[in-house]
Amino acid sequence: MVGMKSWLVGWAAAAALVPLTLLTVSAEEQIGYPADYKSEFTNYLSLDRTQNEGQIIRLFANQKALEAARTGVALPDGSIIVGEIYKAKLNKDGKPQVSSLGRQVRDKLALIAVMEKRPGFGKDLPAELQNDGWDFAAFKPDGSRAKKDLDSCRACHAPLNDSQHLFSLEHLQ
């Protein structure tokens, strides 16, 4: 009976592992939350978003990306860029409040947008969604995944062939 019991336990454990393994495989293809960006990355630019009124973005790059940009070479695999997107404070009329510097003022952190370059990233996507090895992810302020249509990210950044699919390449230094 003991043998039967342990066989059953073993079978149950193996059955439980199957979906876990599947989950792990698909998760590996996605970009994870870069938990250390606040301490390890450099905040290279902060601005009122150029295409989204009422939002402010703070941009961070990891050391790999920065060093390559400073040297003037292509950003290597392992480069990560983080965009913290904040809502702007609104005035009584519901319009973004403008500071004496003529800039919007940060309110709550709304989304953390991430780009990461890895070998083969995006290779199975249609050509108009490919970004030369860069791919995209979006997270809530607590680090959990935000539900965003990543194809819209890919489509808007894909045409930027001259700046390695980054809007802010010239600021990366």
Residue 75 touches ligand HEC, criterion: CB under 6 A: no
Q: Are 116 and 80 in contact (CB under 8 A)?
A: yes
Extract long-range pairs of 23-32: CB within 8 Å, 24+ residues apart. 30/137, 31/114, 31/116, 31/135, 31/136, 31/137, 32/137
Stretch that binds ligand HEC, among 12-20, 21-29, 100-108, 162-170 (CB under 6 A): 162-170
Q: Which is nearer to ligand HEC, 10 or 159 (CB)?
A: 159
Q: Is 158 in the site for ligand HEC (CB under 6 A)?
A: no
Q: Does 167 bind ligand HEC (CB under 6 A)?
A: yes
For residues 5-34, which are near ligand HEC according to CB under 6 A? none
Nearest residue to 76 via CA among 62, 58, 90, 93: 62
Contacting range for ligand HEC; rule: CB under 6 A; set: 35-43, 65-73, 88-96, 108-116: 108-116
Q: Residue 59, interface with ligand HEC (CB under 6 A)?
A: yes
Place of tokens 């402010």: 56
Minimum Å gap between C-beta 95 and ligand HEC is 19
In a 13 Å sphere around the CA of 145, the CA atoms on its Cβ side amount to: 10
Binding residues for ligand HEC, total number by CB under 6 A:
20
**Exactly one of 69, 88, 153, 158 binds ligand HEC (CB under 6 A); which one?**
153
**Half-sphere CA count of 48, side-chain side, radius 13 A:** 13
Task: Candidates 17, 74, 156, 159: give the one binding ligand HEC (CB under 6 A).
Answer: 156
For residue 58, the minimal CB distance to ligand HEC (Å) is 10
Check binding of 43 to ligand HEC (CB under 6 A).
Answer: no
Quick check: 136 and 10 in contact, CB under 8 A? no
**Would you count residue 115 as binding ligand HEC (CB under 6 A)?**
yes
Nearest to 121 by CA among 89, 79, 152: 79
